[in-house]
Homo-oligomer: A and B are copies of this chain.
């Protein structure tokens, strides 16, 4: 049996797990899941009806990107991305939650929903341009914060590459696909994202294409 990750191409939480798996050098199959169609077999694996869902070699099913990230750290500890002791780990987790919670709510999920998911979902009405405008205004605050951190640290949570970078990179990659990241105003953030893009796991994200919605022209370029 092969490891499997059920995902949606532009889901930032799925992308975070793809990055972690690649950095840990764990092979896996990627299964696209139209989670909005609520397929019965999928709901059996995850009653929350969300991606990502991970299936390990022994058949263990883990749902939710927070649970999967922690599970992979515990199960495959050869390469660690959470930090070496409780205080640095708290910083990695704080920043992971920053992007998976705050940035997701304020920026990446509204943009992804308005610009992609609305097309597939039955109950969804027309695009809400106010939501898009608010998300594009708020992203400046987050780019400032990343720049502030990268002026002081090698990676977001400290000296070492961590799940916080994968979470942030995953969310930014979605917004960048949609062409909505004003990188040029934030040099340190741009430099951080360029470093992250050259990581092995990032390459597959950069070759993703959504049917009918092409990425921004610079999306796949390693040097912008």
Contacts and interface: CB of A to CB of B under 8 A. Distances in A.
Interface of A: 47-48, 50, 60, 62-64, 66-68, 70-71, 74-75, 86-87, 89-91, 93-94, 96-98, 101-102, 145
Contacts of A91: 67
A62 B93 CA distance: 10
Contact of A86 (B47, B75, B87, B93): B75
Given A60-B87, A68-B90, 8 more contacts: A48-B98, A62-B94, A63-B94, A66-B97, A67-B90, A67-B94, A70-B90, A70-B93
Contacts of A98: 48, 64
A68 B47 CA distance: 26
A150 B203 CA distance: 44
A187 to B, nearest CB: 20
Please list the 10 inter-chain residue pairs (A to B) with the smallest Cβ-Cβ separation, ordered nearest first: A67-B93, A74-B86, A64-B97, A67-B94, A71-B90, A62-B90, A64-B94, A67-B90, A66-B97, A63-B94
A93 B66 contact: yes
A83 B48 CA distance: 21
Contacts of A94: 62-64, 67
B66 A89 contact: no
Contacts of A102: 48, 50
Contacts of A96: 66
